[in-house]
Amino acid sequence: MMEAVLLLSGEVGYRGLALADVADRAGIEVEESSSDFPDLASCFAAAYEAEAEALAAALVQLAAAAGDWRRGFRAAITALFRFAAEYPATTKALFREVHVAGGAALARRDEIVDRLSTLIERSWRASFPELPEPSPVAASFVVGVIEGVLRGRLLRGGDIDRDQLVSELMFLIVGSFMGSDAAREELDR
């Protein structure tokens, strides 16, 4: 059920779904699903939480394993865009349809975004204690920009030069934390 609700939400949109559609896609009777998920909103919220948490954990792990803040960020963004290319319907559900679903799923999204923003800021401070403090909104800006790019450009389809897009995003990210000189280096990578 949880996989089916994300796929269908990404394919046809959350507004166009009923719990019966999800049960049918999952190959079960809607009566069977009602013991776990009494309505579409609870099914989507559970699916969103499981998938978004797994994706966030994988990205954080990749970033931590890269060895330094900038390489880690680049690795995480690259992996996120790879995920979006490989799982477009799930990506649409996670980054666009969660706003339509609202309720518990959107509240969970806000918690995950806040947690990722805090991790980004702490990681940066640990990596660069000698540099001045970044803007208080820098980490939230970074997460919002990445989310906006996924919702806007990647989810529309079409050919996208992911390497160029990652470099442009890294320019914005590094610039937000380290200034324009450091940011320019990212465009040449």
Is residue 180, in this structure, part of any structural domain at all? yes
Q: 34 near 23, Cβ under 8 Å?
A: no
Would the pTM count as exceeding 0.95?
no
Tell me whether residue 171 is in a domain: yes
H-helix or E-strand spanning residue 98: helix 98-101
Q: Which two tokens stand for residue 68?
A: 């330094």
Whether the Cβ atoms of residue 166 and residue 77 lie closer than 8 Å to each other: yes
pLDDT for 158: 65
Give domain status of residue 15, yes or no: no
Per-residue pLDDT reduced to its tens digit, 36-48: 889 999 999 999 9
Residue 41 belongs to some domain of the structure: no
- Rounded to 5 degrees, φ, ψ at 28 are -130, 165
Q: Examine residue 170 and state whether it is found in any structural domain, yes or no.
A: yes
Classify residue 10: in a domain, yes or no: no
Answer yes or no: are the C-beta atoms of 77 and 63 closer than 8 Å. no
Which tens digits make up the pLDDT trace of 105-127? Answer: 999 999 999 999 999 999 988 88
Least confident residue range of 138-142, 166-170, 175-179: 175-179
- Domain range for 58: 53-187
User: Is the residue at 59 inside a domain?
Assistant: yes
Indicate whether 30 belongs to any domain. Answer: no
Domain total of the chain: 1
